[in-house]
Amino acid sequence: MQNRKTAIVTGAGTGVGRAVATTLLGKGWNTVFCGRRQAVLDEAVAAAGQTEARALAVSCDVTREDQVDALFRTAVDTFGRVDLLFNNAGSSYKSTPIDEIPVSVWNDIVGVNLTGSFLCARAAFGVMRRQSPMGGRIINNGSVSAYAPRPGSVPYTATKHAITGLTRTLALDGRPFDIACGQIDIGNALTEMAQAMTVGVPQANGTIAAEAVMDVQRVADAVLHMASLPLDANVLFMTVMATKMPFVGRG
């Protein structure tokens, strides 16, 4: 166990986070499944099955500094170090014009998507620069919304653009400490949150249309590739998307 790398995956109870955490565990990473709901995390760990690596389910609200710090203390106490953070926890809201979006919704989405990513990256950075051997990797879950918005998505799109700034700055600031930081921008992975894509979602031209989706395992495999690189190499940005989704080109 001491020779294994350790990963922390936020939002690991469902969707992309669960797929990534399960894949890392299966490939020999000691993996901390982090999320708000302990029962969901426990089920995800149980479903992952028996592996040579160890899984740990830790309930944590990523918007709470004290809970995030406790999460990382638990990981270090259990496994000795942290080699990877997949900053994945996030939330969104239905397509809505800005003047109809409650301020509480804005605050909630900023709290999870941006402040939560900051708090987890902050804790990971602090552990990685002080452990021996020094270093590690942070992978932020961006989105194709970090480049192009969907209609009526002000809170979500604003936070995902901000994640790009977080990624670039951490990639720079991490250099003296052998901390690499990259971002995966995901388009239409088929999770519970993306089920609406298969039925119909608002398009830039005002229509409603179904969109192509891809298996979420494609995302997990992409994150595994990024995570498996030696620390002298970094995938700064990767876009993995359903091939036929209406992202590239004009609507």
The catalytic residue among 7, 156, 183, 186 is 156
Distance from C-alpha of 180 to C-alpha of 136, rounded to nearest angstrom? 6
The residue-averaged pLDDT of 47-52 equals: 93
Structural domain spans, the chain: 6-241
Distance from C-alpha of 14 to C-alpha of 19, rounded to nearest angstrom? 8
Mean pLDDT over the full length of the chain: 94
Distance from C-alpha of 159 to C-alpha of 11, rounded to nearest angstrom? 16
Using the predicted structure, report yes or no on whether residue 2 has a pLDDT greater than 60.
Answer: no
Using the predicted structure, report yes or no on whether residue 1 has a pLDDT greater than 60.
Answer: no
Q: Report the pLDDT value the prediction gives residue 189, as an integer from 0 to 100.
A: 84
Please compute, for residue 149, the number of CA atoms within 13 A of its CA located in the half-sphere on the CB side.
14
Q: Report the pLDDT value the prediction gives residue 207, as an integer from 0 to 100.
A: 85
Q: Report the pLDDT value the prediction gives residue 200, as an integer from 0 to 100.
A: 82
Query: Which of 42-46, 116-120, 123-127, 213-217 has the weakest average pLDDT?
Result: 213-217
| Residue for token pair 């080699």 | 83
pLDDT in tens, 167-205: 999 999 999 999 999 999 998 887 877 777 778 888 888
Structure tokens at 226: 């990024």
Query: Does residue 83 or residue 213 have the better pLDDT?
Result: 83
pLDDT in tens, 144-164: 999 999 999 999 999 999 999
Which CATH code for domain 6-241?
Answer: 3.40.50.720
156 is catalytic: yes
Is the model's pTM score more than 0.85? yes
CA 221 to chain centre: 14
Counts for the chain of helices (H) and strands (E), in that order:
7, 11
Residues sharing a CB contact under 8 Å with residue 62, sequence separation 6 or more, in sequence order: 10, 34, 68, 89, 112, 116, 117, 119, 120
